[in-house]
Structure 1
Amino acid sequence: MIRIEHRPSVSPFVAQLWRAHASGVETMTSVANSTWELVVWTEGEQLLTSVRGPETCATTAPVPLDSSSLGILFAHGVHMPHLPVTGLVDAETPPRPVRDGAFLLREGSYPLPTYDAAEQLVERLVTDGVLVRDALVADVLDGLAPTVSPRTVQRRVHATTGLTLGTIRQIARAREAALRLGDGVPILEVVHELGFYDQSHLSRALGRFIGRTATELAQGRHARPLSLLYSPREGAGAAAPGRSTGRDR
């Protein structure tokens, strides 16, 4: 089982914070996600960190035995100029060991984040210029009308997310569909509410981005655990109590 707790953040730089513990499983289905993240995890006696880029499709990922992990999912538009996210799509940086409670990022050493106060690390990264936010990208993905040309929007979205607007929206819709099916909403109702053409269109999206069929999600039948599956609507700026579930990550 993989148990995970996650919460949104009041920081405009953060989409979600999560922590998890895994036991008795060797693999999980890592669902597609349009945001990138900083992850800290245990692997045997080692404590490691890595930056993981967006994932454009569901994949099978290994799970270290009896491991704990913590992650900061950064909001759309947030990026590290020294580590372009365009080069991290469906990839990650090599794991780095944590030494004396600190990890290296760019040329600095930073204390490990905690689940309850990860925003303190984020604020320091912003102050040091490691993290930069393009507010235009965040506004566009929140549904606001841009004041620049569509070509400029696409360029800036791609530069800060590594993805196109279309891909980001497709991933968000598939994730929302998976959550609604898991909550018991009928398949045809999900098709209608989320704007899929038909049930076949929904099935293709779920297979590509979630790695599950609509029936499996509706019945809660999973051959292996799913990674963190939060609603794209749970964005930054809306603090809420943490949620815990045994089906995630």
Structure 2
Amino acid sequence: MGLEIEGRPSDSPYVSYVWRSRSEGVDRMTAVASARWDLVFWQSRGGFHAAVAGPESRVSTAPVPEEAAFFGITFALGTTLTHLPAPRLVDGGLDIPDATRRSFWLKDAHWPVPGPDDAEAFAQRLVRAGVLVRDPLVTEVMRGGTPDASPRTAQRRFRAATGFTHGAARQIERARHAAVLLRGGAAAGDVVHRLGYYDEPHLARALGRFVGRTAGQLRDDPRPAQPLSLLYKT
């Protein structure tokens, strides 16, 4: 019972994570903040559906279709659809009408519905068609590098590719990483030291804003009544 999620990381520069999920006996979930966007497909009693799920700047509560099976591709930070700029998707998204189990409509064309084993190949087809693009500056900045651009230009490109400032994206990524460590049994003090928080109250504020759980809840309650959305190490 609940929201069962499984997935795998990707070595594609365009894809972060490929996941599947199934809901049973749950109608709400805590949607953890994320700087990345997803392409999601699901089958429920109401039929087959597809949507572009935008990045989330803060934690929220989201409905979960009853007895539904989901498949999703989480795209890499800095990757964006050319006809749907990332800033337009933050804290929102786009339902894709008339999707079927075989195909869906995206930027003036029908595309075959991908599966867990061909998500990367699907992303490459989008790239070749000019539907999906990626700004490598985002990866360089997130890794602490110094891009060959002025600070103002770098920040403008970062926001255009992600919908966030560099600082906001780092805060979200760090809070998600903290949640993963705490769910794995790490002590709050160790997470503070490892991820560079000032102290445990600083960690607690970040978790409340971006994850919606305390450190104790993440560590001691692996199956809460209201489940968390997808969490994985970034």
What TM-score does the superposition give when structure 1 sets the normalisation length? 0.90
Which residue identity does 1:224 align to in structure 2?
Answer: Q
**Cα offsets for 1:88-108 (capped at 9, x unmatched):** 100011342313610000101
Specify every segment of 5 or more residues in structure 2 that has no aligned partner in the other structure, as ranges: none
User: 1:48, 1:95 within 8 Å by CA — same for their partners in 2?
Assistant: yes
User: 1:7, 1:17 within 8 Å by CA — same for their partners in 2?
Assistant: yes
C-alpha distance in 2 between matches for 1:5 and 1:174: 20
Report the counterpart of residue 207 of structure 1 in structure 2: 208
- For these two proteins, the number of residue pairs brought into alignment is 232
C-alpha distance in 2 between matches for 1:173 and 1:228: 15
**Cα offsets for 1:180-221 (capped at 9, x unmatched):** 111111111211221111111111100110010111011125
Report the counterpart of residue 219 of structure 2 in structure 1: 218
C-alpha distance in 2 between matches for 1:32 and 1:99: 29
Deviation at 1:142, TM superposition (A): 2.5
For 1:68-107, list aligned pairs within 5 A: 68-99=69-100, 101-107=102-108
Q: Secondary structure at the match of 1:20?
A: strand
Deviation at 1:19, TM superposition (A): 0.7
User: 1:77, 1:161 within 8 Å by CA — same for their partners in 2?
Assistant: yes
Deviation at 1:60, TM superposition (A): 0.8
Report percent identity of matched pairs.
Answer: 47
What TM-score does the superposition give when structure 2 sets the normalisation length? 0.95
Which residue identity does 2:227 align to in structure 1?
Answer: P
Q: Secondary structure at the match of 1:93?
A: strand
Q: Secondary structure at the match of 1:97?
A: coil
C-alpha distance in 2 between matches for 1:95 and 1:105: 8
User: 2:55, 2:89 within 8 Å by CA — same for their partners in 1?
Assistant: yes
Report the counterpart of residue 62 of structure 1 in structure 2: 63
Report the counterpart of residue 143 of structure 2 in structure 1: 142
User: 1:4, 1:21 within 8 Å by CA — same for their partners in 2?
Assistant: yes
Which residue identity does 2:230 align to in structure 1?
Answer: L
**Cα offsets for 1:102-151 (capped at 9, x unmatched):** 00001010000101111121111111100011112222223322111111
Aligned residue among 223, 227, 230 for 2:229: 227
**Cα offsets for 1:139-175 (capped at 9, x unmatched):** 2223322111111111011001001111111011111
For 1:38-187, list aligned pairs within 5 A: 38-99=39-100, 101-187=102-188
Which residue identity does 2:54 align to in structure 1?
Answer: G
C-alpha distance in 2 between matches for 1:99 and 1:145: 44
Deviation at 1:23, TM superposition (A): 0.6
Specify every segment of 5 or more residues in structure 1 that has no aligned partner in the other structure, as ranges: 233-249
C-alpha distance in 1 between matches for 2:22 and 2:95: 22
C-alpha distance in 1 between matches for 2:98 and 2:32: 26
Q: Secondary structure at the match of 2:94?
A: coil
User: 1:46, 1:97 within 8 Å by CA — same for their partners in 2?
Assistant: no
**Cα offsets for 1:35-93 (capped at 9, x unmatched):** 01111112314111111111011111111010011111111121112111111100011
C-alpha distance in 2 between matches for 1:100 and 1:30: 26
Q: Which moved more, 1:202-211 or 1:77-86?
A: 77-86
